[in-house]
Amino acid sequence: MPSPALQHADLYLRRLGFARAPVPTLDTLHLLQLRHTAAFPFETLNTFLHRPVPIDLPAVERKLLLEGRGGYCYELNGLYLALLRRLGFDAVPLTGRVVMGGPEDALPPRTHQMVRVRVGGRDWLTDVGFGGMVPTAPLALDDAGAQPTPHEPFRLDRRRGRYTLRAWVGEAWKALYVFDLEAPAPADLEVGNWYVSTHPDSPFLGRLVAARTGPFCRHALRGGSYALHRVGQPSLRRELRTPQAVIGVLQEVFGLQLPTQPGLHAAIAQQLDALHADASDSEEKVLATPV
């Protein structure tokens, strides 16, 4: 059964700064990935509000292109894959296990989707949906050394057919996710998306996260904490104390048109109250600790 075609390809390309369809070259792939991570923010508003996250192409087109929203990997890389194929790239989906923040030899579920592209006689990893540490340039799968991007350098380590993606962060190589080159079936993507959007252990369920790249910087929101990470400079951080402040950052920094359903303001207020309570508890424990 053939995959559904993009219905709003011209609008999609305009959002990415193209007046017409570009040719499927490596230079085009670089431009697409860099511009995509800036134009379409990573965001978890649906899972924050415990709402469904459909990943069929018409639903994702409607959300990202017509409703002014962002999404997470299954949405962002799903739409991106459809565009790459529309432009004539040899592109297939891949899935990975996220190990960022945990042991590299762990075997968490395959909950991250990205894309493999074959262009210029080489295979490249291209990914527009990994949130605050998304790579902003394609990475050659046959290159074991550090690979520059417009932001941090990245590296792909290969061992026994398995790749580990690392980023240079804080003067060290940090593992982000591991993957192989087996293309998933559509059902695999549905199962992974179901897990991320509904499982109690999902890092996004009931949590508000947003990320977007800019020139030599990254914007990141986690709960009520907003950070501007600048290449080669100290990060700037701001704690957002009210739902209005959080909504303002989502709209002004991340460029999101927020969902109109009731409950968003109350959900943000509840999250901020919980965060402030946790912070107060931590302070009390510190003050109560004998010295």
- Residue 255, domain member (yes or no): yes
pTM: 0.93
- Residue 1, domain member (yes or no): no
Using DSSP, state whether 22 is helix, strand or coil. Answer: coil
Domain co-membership, 128 together with 269: no
pLDDT for 20 equals 96
pLDDT for 288 equals 45
Domain co-membership, 170 together with 236: no
pLDDT for 1 equals 47
pLDDT for 105 equals 85
Domain co-membership, 157 together with 21: yes
- Residue 105, domain member (yes or no): yes
Domain co-membership, 237 together with 135: no
Domain co-membership, 177 together with 236: no
Q: Which of 36, 73, 151, 219 is catalytic?
A: 73
Q: Residue 275 sits in which domain range? A: 209-283
Domain co-membership, 85 together with 177: yes
Q: Catalytic residue at 199?
A: no
pLDDT for 3 equals 64
Question: How many structural domains compose the chain?
Answer: 2
Domain co-membership, 229 together with 129: no
CA distance 290 to 38: 48
Which tens digit of pLDDT belongs to each residue from 17-64? 999 999 999 999 999 999 999 999 999 999 999 999 999 999 999 999
- Residue 291, domain member (yes or no): no
Q: Which amino acid is at 288?
A: A
C-beta atoms surrounding 41 within 10 Å: 23
Q: What is the mean pLDDT of the chain?
A: 93
Domain co-membership, 167 together with 278: no
Domain co-membership, 98 together with 227: no
Q: Is 14 in contact with 35 (CB distance < 8 Å)? A: no
pLDDT for 2 equals 57
Give me the CATH number covering residue 222: 3.30.2140.10
Assess whether pLDDT exceeds 80 at residue 278: no
Q: Is 186 in contact with 107 (CB distance < 8 Å)? A: no
Q: Is 132 in contact with 235 (CB distance < 8 Å)? A: no
Of the residues 173, 198, 223, which one is the last residue of a structural domain? 198
**pLDDT category, 4, cuts 50, 70, 90?**
confident
Q: Which of 36, 50, 112, 151 is catalytic?
A: 112
Stretch 218-235: mean pLDDT, rounded?
Answer: 95
Beta sheet of 139-140, edge-to-edge order: 139-140, 122-126, 110-119, 90-98, 172-179, 162-169, 154-159
Assess whether pLDDT exceeds 60 at residue 73: yes
Of the residues 152, 171, 198, which one is the last residue of a structural domain? 198
Which tens digit of pLDDT belongs to each residue from 126-184? 999 999 999 999 999 999 999 999 999 999 999 988 999 999 998 899 999 999 999 99
- Residue 32, domain member (yes or no): yes
Of the residues 168, 198, 228, which one is the last residue of a structural domain? 198
Assess whether pLDDT exceeds 90 at residue 276: no
- Residue 4, domain member (yes or no): no
Residues 6+ apart with CB under 8 A from 174: 100, 166, 167, 168
Q: Tell me the two tokens of residue 117.
A: 């592209």
Q: Catalytic residue at 73?
A: yes
Say what percent of the chain tops pLDDT 90.
86
Q: Is 46 in contact with 27 (CB distance < 8 Å)? A: no
Domain co-membership, 133 together with 156: yes
Q: Which of 127, 151, 219, 229 is catalytic?
A: 127
- Residue 288, domain member (yes or no): no
Which tens digit of pLDDT belongs to each residue from 98-117? 999 888 888 899 999 999 99
Domain co-membership, 68 together with 151: yes
Q: Catalytic residue at 188?
A: no
